Structure 1
Amino acid sequence: MVNIAFLGPLGTYTHQAALQQFPDKDANYIPLAGIPQCFEALIKDASLDFAVVPLENSTNGQVVFTYDLLRDLMNNCKEYKGNEAIPELEVVAEQYVSIELCLIAAQPMSLDDLNSETRVTIHSHPQVWGQASSYLKNLGQRVQELKTVDSSSTSGAVKICCEAGQPSGNEVVLAIASRTAATVNGAAIVDSPINDRKGNTTRFLTLRRRSTDFPPIPARPPVAKGVEQVALLTFIGKQDTSPGSLVDVLNVLKDHEINMCSISSRPYHHPDSSSKADESAHRKWQYIFFIEFNHADGVSWDQVVHEMGSKTLKFCFWGTFYRNGRYYETST
């Protein structure tokens, strides 16, 4: 039995990512209340094997909670090799979930059942209203009344819809959520996809506790020929006032012919502002950088690590993982 924690409740898009990553019948999916709880539980609970958390969305960008938790794990790391942080967790896989919103009812019904005499109440997470605004506007024009009600999660909205049961007279209670949420709650899909922007996708990371005999690079198992692998690296540069300090770090990749896939940043604050040894301790407006790059054969990784160490205050390799095939899917 493999125990997987994920950002709950059941039926969320993170649940879908966990199902994609661990389709085995022996997988046990454990919903947790928040992203911090997923990190904390994986570190402290030895019965958990993995945790699945959202990282970024193709439309809305970073999931800052996840980025900041990675930052804080590196910031408060207890183990170092020189200035390379060896955190308690590592990244071992990625997943991509298409964010396709569905109009959901407790019992099977058709859009034709919604007419000028119908008063409709729709429950969903507040973020959904903007993602399906055009659809809701059109739906509102075909019914007598359309009311939207906020819920704490899309999956929770489906539960509320199911508890309301079958339509009473001209009163209809619906929800907007994922197909997984409908399946988990035994509900029926009335219409899908209803989001205004198609191709919206969220990327998820799978983490596990770091094994002491698992090197940061290269990853195990060995790279299969023709299968792309990606490494995640975070680092804090030397003084931002030093011209080219960021470029100096990135040039390590260039010099070793390593292709960088992405770069982003988050604010950084030293955990001990009283420290005099660390030049970053008293500085404001400093940033931690997140970069991803393609794992390349024939690279001297020992040399890469050495050069990274000489050009950064602190850095961390989070792991190397196979590029998921859904990454290459195009929007339709």
Structure 2
Amino acid sequence: MKVAFLGPEGTYTHQAVIQQFGIEEDVEIIPKKSIAECFEAINSRQVDYTVVPFENSTNGQVVFTYDLFRDWFFDSTKECRFRIVGEQFVPIHHNLLGYGSVQEIETIYSHPQIASQNRDNKRIAAISSKMSAKLYDLPIIVKGIEDNASNTTRFLVLGYNNPPKHNDVTEGKAKAKEEEEKITSLMFTLPDDSPGALCDILFKFKQAEINLTSINSRPANLQPWQYVFFVEAASEINTSVLKSLQESCLALVVLGTFDRNKC
């Protein structure tokens, strides 16, 4: 099994890959230089899955990922068959890594690759993850230097089939399996800018008793001041509701239905 992700190794996206797939001999991880390359890899079937950042609890949208969904799924020239098939939440804890003391540091980098290129220099340090410290064999000078201890990034798993799940084990016992909550991710454009056009669509979710967990928008890049709306619902959406929604949209795409990750 091949899995692409936004690299290099040691990033928080790499951590999301490990949370989803574990560290197995049959899992080949393939770092990519950009989120766009991750989309290319899964669409061309170079890989079975790809993992990309989607949103952060502090900074909000990862706009590059949102825009790539728009560009891939609303482009009629692209036969886009992959979908969102999973998600992972990774706590973001930054650490100061290096060989010197705080008093000796003159330069700080914030990219894990840089850290591996400056070994044994006490005047240089890097801000990165605990995973990077292990990967590049760098001492942690100061732990947890982030401003917000609850800062978390949500990552999406893209693919064609439901991904295998890495079994978390706590004190030698597998966690009890709970009934999975489903999330459905959609994006749509409005037929016009008439008053209440967006409200009409959202009201259909209310009529169907579907709870929306998020709604975001990005420029549609079709004409000035037209927007793509990204919506996530806390359930699967049946065919009749989708048909009703499509009647009120200029275009509507289901990006995927997948299990909510409660980790």
C-alpha distance in 2 between matches for 1:225 and 1:176: 37
- 2:133 maps to which of 182, 186, 205: 182
CA 47–268 in structure 1, closer or farther in 2 if over 3 Å, else same: closer
Q: Deviations over 1:4-35 (max 9, x none)?
A: 10001111111111111110412111111000
SS in 1 for 2:118: helix
C-alpha distance in 2 between matches for 1:185 and 1:75: 41
2:115 counterpart residue number? 158
C-alpha distance in 1 between matches for 2:217 and 2:158: 20
C-alpha distance in 2 between matches for 1:121 and 1:325: 41
1:121 counterpart residue number? 106
* 8 A contact 2:182–2:235 mirrored in 1: yes
- 1:269 maps to which of 183, 200, 221: 221
Q: Deviations over 1:25-65 (max 9, x none)?
A: 12111111000010011112x34100100001111111110
Q: Deviations over 1:147-202 (max 9, x none)?
A: xxxxxxx212321332xx154xxxx3221101111111122212211112221111
C-alpha distance in 2 between matches for 1:36 and 1:209: 18
1:40 counterpart residue number? 40
Q: Structure 1 residue 239 and structure 2 residue 188: aligned? A: no
C-alpha distance in 1 between matches for 2:66 and 2:46: 25
Q: Identify unmatched segments of 5+ residues in structure 2.
A: 163-176
C-alpha distance in 2 between matches for 1:10 and 1:225: 32
C-alpha distance in 1 between matches for 2:108 and 2:9: 17
SS in 2 for 1:161: coil
Q: Structure 1 residue 311 and structure 2 residue 244: aligned? A: no
How far off is 1:309 after superposition?
1.4
Size of the aligned set, in residue pairs, is 248
- 1:230 maps to which of 140, 163, 183: 183
2:12 counterpart residue number? 13
Taking structure 2 as the reference length, what is the TM-score of the superposition?
0.87
SS in 2 for 1:87: coil
5 Å-filtered alignment, 1:85-124, equals 87-106=80-99, 113-114=101-102, 118-124=103-109
Q: Deviations over 1:246-297 (max 9, x none)?
A: 1111112111111000000000123xxxxxxxxxxxx42010000000115x
C-alpha distance in 2 between matches for 1:319 and 1:31: 24
1:204 counterpart residue number? 155
AA paired with 1:319? G
* 8 A contact 2:43–2:80 mirrored in 1: no
AA paired with 1:258? I
How far off is 1:302 after superposition?
1.5
C-alpha distance in 1 between matches for 2:81 and 2:21: 22
C-alpha distance in 2 between matches for 1:24 and 1:178: 18
AA paired with 1:179? K
AA paired with 1:265? S
C-alpha distance in 1 between matches for 2:142 and 2:51: 28
Flag the structure with larger Rg.
1
2:173 counterpart residue number? none
How far off is 1:99 after superposition?
1.0
1:254 counterpart residue number? 206
* 8 A contact 1:104–1:174 mirrored in 2: yes
* 8 A contact 2:180–2:259 mirrored in 1: yes
Q: Identify unmatched segments of 5+ residues in structure 1.
A: 80-85, 126-153, 212-223, 271-282, 327-332
AA paired with 2:150? G
C-alpha distance in 2 between matches for 1:323 and 1:191: 34
CA 166–78 in structure 1, closer or farther in 2 if over 3 Å, else same: closer
Q: Structure 1 residue 285 and structure 2 residue 225: aligned? A: yes
5 Å-filtered alignment, 1:64-83, equals 64-78=63-77
